[in-house]
Amino acid sequence: MSETARIILDGKEYELPVIVGTEDEKAIDISKLRSASGYITIDPGFKNTGSCKSAITYLDGENGILRYRGYPIEQLAEKASFLEVAYLLIKGDLPNQKELDWFVNSITKHTLVHEDMKRFFEAFPTDAHPMGILSSMIASLSTFYPESQNPNRSIEDVELTMHRVIAKLPTLAAQAYKNNMGHPVVYPNNGLSYTENFLQMMFGLPTEDYKVNPVVNDALNKLLILHADHEQNCSASTVRIVGSSQANLYSAISAGIAALWGPLHGGANQAVIEMLETIKNDGGGLQKWVDKAKDKSDSFRLMGFGHRVYKNFDPRAKIIKKAADDVLDALGIDDPVLEIAKELEAVALKDQYFVDRGLYPNVDFYSGIIYRALGIPTDMFTVMFAIGRLPGWIAQWKEMVEMGEPIGRPRQVYTGANDRNYVDISNR
Ligand code: SDX
C-alpha cells in the first residue's frame, strides 16, 4: 500500500503522507496542503473527512461492528455495568475491582447539586423541554465550580470535574422531570447503584421507599452502555471543538447536549415514537409512510432509519430490538407501537429505495419503545441518550486535550461579493 498520495495542482505534483490506523483505515494527511499549494479541501458535513486520530471507539459501518477500546459492545452490554464502561472509555482499560470501587465511590459522593440550582428550575416554564433545561444546568455548573474554568488545572482537578458531571447529570435530569410534573424532588440515595439511583430520583416519592424493578434496572444499564460512545458523531465533535478553545468541560458537555437534541441526531428517539404514534393513529397502511419518506417533495423522513456510517444494520439496534421484546414480555406490556415498528422495518427493508441507500434501523429506532416501557416520558428520551453518551463525550474531550489538539478552526471557500465601495443610503 502506498505511503503517500500524489496530487497534481496547476501542473505541479504534491505528495501527501498516508496514515493507516490499527484497523487498517487509511487517510490522506492534508495538514500541509494549503501551505504547500494554496489549496484547501471542502467536504460539507465532513462525510469524507477525519477530524482526528482516536483510540476510543472503533466502528465498521459496512460490517456492523462497534467496539469500545477494543471490546465488542455485545459483550459489554451483557456483562458490564455502565460505570465500568464509563471507566473503560475514559481511562482506556477495564478497571480491576479496586479501581472500579474508587471510581464508583468518587462519583457517588458528588451526586448532590447546589441547593441554589433549585431556583433555576423554578424559572423555567413548566412545559420546558428537559434538554433545554439540562444544557443550561450543565453549563451553569461551571459557575459553581470556577476552578474548572482554569485551562491549566491539575489532573486531580480535571478528574474531579469529570466525576462531578457524571454524578450530577442524572440528578439534574430527574429534577427537570420532577419540575415538569410539579412533583417534589427526590434526592440521590448513595446506597444505590448509578442506574437504581436515577430510577428512584425519577419515579420515587419523598413519602415512600421506591423499589427498583431489576428488569427495568438491567434494561437501563444496557441502554446506557449502548449509547456510551460512537466516535466522531455530531455531538462528540461538538464537545471536541468547544473543548479545543480551552473552554471548561461543563461548557463543552453543555454544547454536546445541545447538538444531541437535534432530531437528526439524538432527538431522533423522541421523533421515532412521535412518528409511530402518528402512523398508529392514522390507521392506514405502512406503505403510504414508506412512500412519503421516499418522496423528495415531502419533508417526512423515516425517523430512526439511516445512518452516516452504518450502511448495514446498526449493531446497537439489533441488541435494543431484542431487549425491547424481553422488557415488554417481562413487564407484561403489550405496546402496539412495537409491532408497528417491526412491520415498518420489514416493509422498508424490502423497498429498493432503502436497500439501495443502505438505510437500516439505527440506535434510535427501538430505544424509545423500551424507555416508554420503563415509564420514561417521551420528551426525556434524548435526556436518556445524553446520560448514556456522557462518558463518551468526556473520553473524547480528554483525548483531545491530552493530544494537544489545536483549536478547531476550519477554512472556507468564499463565494460572496467581490470588493466594492460603500454607497450612501440616499443613492441606494
Ligand atoms: C444518531 O453519527 C452517529 O454516530 C450518530 C449516532 C450516535 O450514536 O451518535 O449513531 C446517533 O444520530 C443516529 C441517527 C438518528 N437520526 C435519525 O434517525 C433521523 C433520520 N435519519 C436521517 O436523517 C439520516 O439518515 C441521517 C441524518 C441519520 C444520516 O444522513 P446522511 O448521512 O447525511 O445521509 P443523507 O441525508 O445524505 O441521505 C442519503 C440518502 C438521501 O437520499 P438521496 O439524496 O440519495 O436520494 O438517503 C436518504 C436521503 O434522502 N435518507 C432517507 C433517510 N435517511 C437518509 N430517506 C428517508 N428516510 C430517512 N430516514
Measured from the Cα of 301, ligand 1's closest atom is 58
How far from the centroid of its chain's Cα atoms is residue 324's Cα? 20
Query: DSSP states of 42-70 as a string?
Result: --GGGTT------SSEEEETTTTEEEETT
Q: According to the model, what pLDDT value does residue 158 have?
A: 96
Closest to 182 (Cα-Cα) out of 126, 245, 253: 126
Interval between CA 361 and ligand 1 midpoint (Å): 10
Ligand 1 center–CA 84 separation, angstroms: 31
Beta bridge partners of 12: 9
Residue 16 has what pLDDT? 97
Ligand 1 center–CA 384 separation, angstroms: 21
Around ligand 1, the residues with Cβ closer than 6 Å are 45, 230, 233, 264-266, 268, 293, 301-309, 357, 359, 362-364
DSSP state of 259: H
Candidates 239, 362, 363, 367: which one to mutate for ligand 1, based on the most atoms within 8 Å of Cβ? 362
14 Cα to the center of ligand 1, angstroms: 35
Report the distance separating Cα 145 and Cα 196, nearest Å.
27
What pLDDT shows up at residue 2? 65
Distance 308 CA to ligand 1 centre (A): 6
Nearest CA to ligand 1 atom 42: 357
Cell of 216: 427495568
Domains of the chain: 4-41 (no CATH), 56-407 (1.10.580.10)
Is 364 among the catalytic positions? Answer: yes
Is residue 400 classed exposed, middle or buried when 0-12, 13-18 and 19+ CB atoms within 10 A define those classes? Answer: buried
The per-residue pLDDT for 1 is: 59
Task: Evaluate whether 225 touches 76 at the Cβ level (below 8 Å).
Answer: yes
The pTM of the full predicted model, rounded to 2 decimals, is: 0.96
3-class DSSP string for 318-373: HHHHHHHHHHHHHHCCCCHHHHHHHHHHHHHCCCHHHHHCCCCECHHHHHHHHHHH
Residue 140 region by backbone torsions, left for phi larger than 0, else alpha for psi between -120 and 50, else beta: alpha
Return the ligand 1 atom nearest residue 357 CA: 47
d(CA 259, CA 392): 14
Give the three-class secondary structure for 109: coil
Angle, to 10 degrees, between the axis of helix 249-260 and the axis of helix 234-243?
150
| Per-residue exposure over 279-305, b if at least 16 CB sit within 10 Å of its own CB, e if not | beeeeeebeebbeebbeeeeeebbbbb
pLDDT for residue 3: 87
Closest ligand 1 atom, CA of 234? Answer: 2
pLDDT at 283: 87
The low-confidence residues of the chain, meaning pLDDT below 50, are none
Residue closest via CA to ligand 1's atom 24 equals 306
Q: What three-state secondary structure class fits 208?
A: strand
Choice among 110, 129, 227, 307 that is catalytic: 307
Query: Strand (E) positions, 10-151?
Result: 12-20, 26-28, 57-60, 65-68, 71-72
Whole-number pLDDT of residue 167: 98
Q: Is 110 a catalytic residue?
A: no
Other Cβ atoms less than 10 A from the Cβ of 32: the count is 11
Q: Do 219 and 323 meet the contact criterion of CB atoms below 8 Å apart? A: yes
